[in-house]
Structure 1
């Protein structure tokens, strides 16, 4: 099994070499570094890049040299990828950057809707029920746009709103059907993401009902532990291997690697 979604010190993860060693120890055949990147020109996103240091658009060439170094020291495959925040207003900038950088593959994700990070519960706790429903609706609107853009090989954690208690349980079968139909017409594949699978909440993306919908539409899936530290990789990889066995799923590679 390979893991196509981990992070390194080039965004919000730990040192790249340590992540590779942990993947080796976990028995993985490959590891893909998909560090966060945002190329939106708006002031707020420039502020986010400054505060959190998500500057892979500037540092990807330096990271590429580091990846080439660890490739020479390991027997497993090491992929040079990216996870990009998607906003339909930024499609031209994203397309230009991906063409310039020529990553092995690209992961797309939706983290922000209506100026709020959908993973931050405090931003939604005091909002009316109808507004929370609207946020979830906008999240899935944006996810469908991400898929239809054909910019990305992988759609990451396709029901991210489930991590956030004020938004959890508000997605509907109609949302899942819309995403499944978009994926059926696209080269983009969703991942099974274990980033919260071993926490108290035990959240796997996509949720069981969503995954059933994807399976009903014969949508292929790929693998992402979403690990940010070496000690996360082994446990999450073991969980995903068992998860795929339990569901009778055969993960696929990102389309760019096929």
Structure 2
């Protein structure tokens, strides 16, 4: 099993060495460090970047040297990757950075709609139902744009907003099919993401209904635990292994 989506201390995770040690102990064959990265010039994104210290655009060469230093210390393949925030109107900025940085692969994520983080309840709690539906529509518009851009090898947690109680339940089959059609025509593949399966949300991304629609369109998947701490890797990898066995999914191995 290759876990293509974990985080290190170069964003909001744990030291490279400790994450690799945990992955080896869990019996993984490969581990991909996909730290958060934001290259937006917009003020809300710049402010969030300063608040959380997601500075991989400035530190990726240092992290790359760290990955090179530990690659031969573990019995697994270690990938030098990135999880990029995607905004449809900043494709060119993202493309230039990815060309310059030359990661092993890139994961794209839609984390915000109208500068509101879709993983937090606060911005949406006071909205009425039509406003919430509009946010969900905008999220899937951005996700389709991400997939069609083909800037990324992988699209992360494609129904991320399901984690957020005020936005949960507004996704429709039409949303699923729009996204599935985009993936079917793109080099970008979604992941099965275990980031909240053992926490409050309690499900994998994509949820079962979405996964089944994607499979109707012969969409393939990678796997990602989305782990930030060493102790998260093995239990989340076990959940992914169980899911693959139950669904007979044969995940894609990225050609890098």
* Equivalent residue number for residue 5 of structure 1: 5
CA distance in 2, matches of 1:156, 1:60: 20
1:38-77 aligned within 5 A: 38-77=38-77
1:149-164 aligned within 5 A: 149-164=149-164
1:74 to partner: Cα distance: 1.2
* Equivalent residue number for residue 236 of structure 1: 236
CA distance in 2, matches of 1:150, 1:218: 18
Scaled by the length of structure 1, the TM-score of the pair is 0.98
* Equivalent residue number for residue 168 of structure 2: 168
Contact 2:45 2:115 in 1 (8 A): no
- Runs of 5+ in structure 2 lacking a partner? none
Secondary structure in 1 matching 2:232: helix
Aligned length: 256
Residues 95-123 of structure 1: CA distance to partner in whole angstroms, max 9, x if unpaired?
00000000000000000001100000121
Secondary structure in 2 matching 1:72: helix
1:212 to partner: Cα distance: 0.4
1:12 to partner: Cα distance: 0.5
1:200 to partner: Cα distance: 3.6
RMSD between aligned residues: 0.7
Secondary structure in 1 matching 2:131: helix
CA distance in 2, matches of 1:5, 1:201: 19
Q: Moved runs in structure 1, 4+ residues, more than 4 A?
A: none
Residues 207-241 of structure 1: CA distance to partner in whole angstroms, max 9, x if unpaired?
10000001111100110000000000000001100
1:1-258 aligned within 5 A: 1-254=1-254, 256-257=255-256
- Runs of 5+ in structure 1 lacking a partner? none
Residues 133-175 of structure 1: CA distance to partner in whole angstroms, max 9, x if unpaired?
0000000000000000010000000000100000001100000
Contact 2:35 2:56 in 1 (8 A): yes
